[in-house]
Amino acid sequence: MELQAVIEGLNRLRARSRVEVVTDSSYVAKGSSEWLPGWKRNGWRRKDGRQWVPIANEQHWQQLDQLLAKHEVRFTLVRGHAGHPENERCDVLAVAAAAAVRQQSE
C-alpha cells in the first residue's frame, strides 16, 4: 500500500528533512495535499451524501499528518507505467518483494 510506504519512508528520517514523494497514487498525493486538512478539521470524517462517515485508513492518515508536521514534504503525482524512472524502479522492487514473500510462504 502506497500510503504505508510513505509513512515508513518518513519514519526513517532522523532529522527534519525536505522530501519530494513521487507517486502514481492519486489517493496518496491528493489525500496528503488536498483532502487531509479537511478530514482533520472534520474529525477524520468525510461527507457521504447527507451523513458524515469515518475516512478509510484513518489511523494511517493520522500517522502521516504527524509526520508531515515534522518534515517539509512535496507530493508529485506521475502517471503509472509511463516510463518515469523512479516509478518504474519502484514497480520492479515491489514485484520482486511480493515474489519473495510468496516464495517464503510456499
pLDDT tops 80 at residue 106: no
Q: Which residues pair with 46 in a beta bridge?
A: 53
The residue count for the chain: 106
Residue spans of alpha helices (H) in the chain: 2-11, 26-30, 36-41, 58-70, 85-105
Residue 67 φ/ψ, nearest 5 degrees: -70, -35
The pLDDT, as a whole number, for residue 90 is 79
What's at 7, amino acid-wise? I
Query: pTM higher than 0.85, yes or no?
Result: no
Specify the CATH number for 2-80; select among 3.30.420.10, 3.20.20.450, 3.90.1150.10, 3.60.20.10: 3.30.420.10
The pLDDT, as a whole number, for residue 61 is 98
pLDDT digits (tens, 9 = 90+) for 13-36: 999 999 999 998 999 999 999 999
pLDDT tops 80 at residue 10: yes
Residue pair 40/65 in contact (Cβ under 8 Å)? The answer is yes
pLDDT digits (tens, 9 = 90+) for 67-102: 999 999 999 998 877 777 887 887 888 888 888 888
The pLDDT, as a whole number, for residue 68 is 97
User: Locate cell 504505508: which residue?
Assistant: 4
Residue pair 60/3 in contact (Cβ under 8 Å)? The answer is yes
